[in-house]
Chains A and B, each alone.
Chain A
Amino acid sequence: MKRIGPLIVERRLAPPRHVVFGVSVLAVVVALLLAALVFWAYGVSPWRAYAEIGRGTLGTVGGLSDIVRRAIPLILCGVGLTLAFRAQFWNIGAEGQLLAGAVAASGVALFLRVPDVLRLPLVFLAGFGAGAVWAVIPALLRVKLQVNEVISTLMMNYIMAYIVEWLVHGPWKGPTMRGFAYTDMFPVAARLPLIAGTRVHWPTLAVGVAAALVVGLILSRTRLGYEVRVVGQSPDAARYAGISFTTVLALTMVVSGGLAALAGVGEVAGIHWRLRSPSHISMGYGYTAIIVAWLARGSPVAAILTALLFGLIFAAGDLMKSTLGLPFQITGVFNGLILFSLISSDLLMYWRIRWGKKGEAWT
């Protein structure tokens, strides 16, 4: 506690939601002011820049749909990551799990002989399964062999990326692609329906939102959710409470990886309709989702909002390149500034400023 004139500044343990929200918005505003300086340095009037960005993203149907389209994989990966982070499992591997989903989905879409009605459900199931398997491996390695999950999940991202590369250059290279490294197009029955006039593949969006709600409920209302939180807070306490560390962690990662994989399913079945190089399938969604999950502060439902925020940032980056003609690196600077600002504001939330009463002591 500190006294500054008539004001008392004191720490609080859990900031209420409105404070978190308010301070976060303030942080974004500060970042926008900083970015304005960058625009100005590049000879673009900040007013014009923000007007163009606002018009191009929030002001048109096309712009709005682009935000949502970018947010879909971020929601799915982000929700999964909030769950893993609750269990204190540092899953950096959403990117690889996403790609695993894309691979399995492509395999089913292109090569499995099933009736058309079954194809899309199977695409989703296979995708989820592949992501779950890919994510359970680091969980088991951690439990059984004490392999640090940051390293295993990070390495597995690279491994999956090269597997995708191998598939599109090798066995899955499309006969109609004239030797280029792409699979053939998915049959129509394996393509996701889009909201008319946009590229928003709504089934994946619906799954993402539903997943956020369900995971939110599991975390707050069920025994499993309780166990996840205990495991996250103190593995020792979990042991005393008779909770199986292995089972809880494995389940957590099945869901976390499975959801990230569905993001990959959405990208290949909703956007590209084929498997292609890893960097084309994901714009680093799995990594961005780490930030999405952190900003959501452990709440899967809040991850929908933070995912939309990053959808907006992606879309704004597009506009900076195209409409404002700024060099593309400016988007990295812009995103960095926003993040710096958001995390610096973190501390602010834990402090409260109020009028001091007479005679309140200094500490």
Chain B
Amino acid sequence: MDLGWLVSTVSRALAFGVPLLWGTLGEIYAERSGVVNLGVEGMMILGAYAGFAVAQTVGVPALGLLAAAVVGAAAALWHAFLTVTLRANQYVSGLALTLFGLGLAGLLGRGWEGKPLRVPLGAITVPGLAEIPVLGPMLFVDQTILTYLGVLLAVILWVVLFRTRWGVVIRSVGESPATADSLGINVTLVRYLCVALGGLLAGVGGGYLSVAYRPSWTEGMTAGMGWIVIALTIFASWDPLRAIWGAFFFGALYHLSFRLQAYVSPELLKLMPYAFAILVLAVSGFGGARWRRRAPGSLGIPYVRGER
């Protein structure tokens, strides 16, 4: 494999991994607080729609991304209301959010189809760093600002989660809400905030698709990325830093499935990322507890004060 291969594979892995990374970071926070949100696909597509509609109307891609974030967060708050306040089944609420989001975005998006975005979010060249041989073209050109913001965000979110009091609060709410409650933590508030953050980041991930990655709106343009996010969350064992590797690893496999088509049957290549995900988990299962991190203790279970 010559360096050209490596450069293009890493570069594409970053670009394709961005929406996955943002979505996964969000879902990690939601699940760390104990709430599964299977509505990622729905939140992403609503973000993609809102991002395009606003960016196209106003002509400013950043405002489109902002709108995507707001809409994603709003959709997530609805999920939080149902699952935290009304204590509805989290899996079903998430599925409903996906159905609803895909439908609503498609409905609102009629009439926006088939138009290129006036001002897309362009790729940037990092001054100085782009000149470095091999690493420059690999990492510091052809990416939008969201690639770097995503990585930075992952680091920040990791620090917050594992090195600050807030992180302790969030993790204890996800691990054992009753204990957290007895310590005076507002479980409901923490869960609402984490789920909303999850939606916000998923919304940005969707917005990236319609404002930067492929600047136009089309029905169903998230094409199942939300489900990959759900898988990556577990794959990354609820760790923001591992989410970086997970998202970009998946991006690399996806890109390679087209690069390698000339040598291996395309269908086999297309199922490779999915098979790999299982394989990696199985292998890390051999590695024992050091590799494996357990899911948050009360993941998926609504909290009722005074029970359990």
Contact = CB atoms under 8 A, between A and B. Distances in A.
Interface in B85-114: 86-89, 91-93, 95-97, 99-107, 110
A198 interface: no
A333 B98 CA distance: 10
Contacts of B96: 291, 335-336, 339-340, 343
Contacts of B277: 151, 155
Nearest to A141: B282
A89 to B, nearest CB: 13
A343 B92 contact: yes
B94 to A, nearest CB: 10
Contact of B231 (A141, A154, A335): A154
A339 B89 CA distance: 11
B265 interface: yes
B292 interface: yes
B122 interface: no
B278 interface: yes
Given A329-B107, A332-B106, A346-B89, A339 B95 contact: yes
Contact of B100 (A90, A287, A333): A333
B60 to A, nearest CB: 28
B86 A346 contact: yes
Interface string A168-202: 01100000000000000000000000000000000
B16 interface: no
A318 to B, nearest CB: 15
Contacts of A113: none
Interface string B207-245: 000000000000100000001001100110000000000
Nearest to B78: A340
A294 B268 contact: no
A332 B105 CA distance: 10
A117 interface: no
A151 B278 contact: yes
- Of B97, B268, B285, which is in contact with the most chain A CB atoms at under 10 Å from its CB? B285
A148 B103 contact: no
Given A145-B285, A146-B285, A343-B93, A329 B234 contact: no
A71 B292 CA distance: 40
A67 to B, nearest CB: 19
A281 interface: no
Given A148-B295, A327-B106, A336-B103, A343 B89 contact: yes
Contacts of A337: 100
A335 B103 contact: yes
B263 interface: no
A166 interface: yes
A49 interface: no
Interface string B55-94: 0000000000000000000000000001000111101110
Interface stretch (A2-10, A156-164, A237-245): A156-164
Contacts of B92: 290-291, 294, 339, 342-343
A220 interface: no
A163 B292 contact: no
B160 interface: no
Contacts of A287: 95
B145 interface: no
B103 A332 contact: yes
A344 B89 contact: no
B281 A151 contact: yes
A162 B271 contact: yes
B82 A154 contact: no
Given A159-B271, A329-B110, 6 more contacts: A145-B285, A165-B267, A169-B267, A327-B110, A335-B99, A346-B87
In the A-B complex, the 3 residue pairs with the closest CB atoms = A332-B103, A336-B100, A145-B285
Interface of B: 82, 86-89, 91-93, 95-97, 99-107, 110, 219, 227, 230-231, 234-235, 265, 267-268, 270-271, 274-275, 277-278, 281-282, 285-286, 292, 295
